[in-house]
Amino acid sequence: MNSIIPSFHYSKLIKPFQITLLFFVGCQANPPAEITDPGQLLFLGYARKEVNCSRCHSPDGQGGLDAPDIRAVFKKYDEEKIMNIIELGKGEGKKAMPPFEGKITEEELTELLKFLKTLPMPDSLEN
């Protein structure tokens, strides 16, 4: 039997929260004192404003409105492929990841990869 009560989607609550969180993370001028990892500073957009992975992938890497969860990226791709994706981008259209070639140095890319390896694995993928 069909219910006359429309189904409620939690995504309607989560999306405004994510937008608010991204606004505050992306607009903070200086990083919190406890964040000193160069890769994390880059990921969060503090090292270079034009390189802010958290804007799309969220500050903890769980994904966002138009970007996937990247906490388990090393289970899917090897380091060379991940570097290639970061430098050249991936996909097409609105949800495509932009290329960061020329916006990030080799040293910064190495630091970013080190940081990505520290992101906690989602419970569903730990085994």
For the chain, give every domain's residue range.
13-119
CATH topology of domain 13-119: Cytochrome Bc1 Complex; Chain D, domain 2 (1.10.760)
Cβ atoms 108, 59 nearer than 8 A: no
Rounded to two decimals, the pTM is: 0.73
Residue 109, amino acid: L
What tokens were used for 22? 């991204």
Does residue 4 register a pLDDT over 90? no
- Among 30-39, 55-64, 83-92, 116-125, the minimum mean pLDDT is found in 116-125
Does residue 71 register a pLDDT over 70? yes
**Tens-place pLDDT, residues 14-62:** 555 555 555 555 555 789 999 999 999 999 999 998 999 999 999 999 9
pLDDT score for 10: 46
Sign for the pseudo-dihedral over CA of 91, 83, 116, 60: negative
pLDDT score for 6: 53
pLDDT score for 18: 55
The residue with greater pLDDT, 116 or 72, is 116
C-alpha to C-alpha distance for 22 and 42, rounded to whole angstroms: 15
- Among 6-15, 82-91, 110-119, the minimum mean pLDDT is found in 6-15
pLDDT score for 124: 72
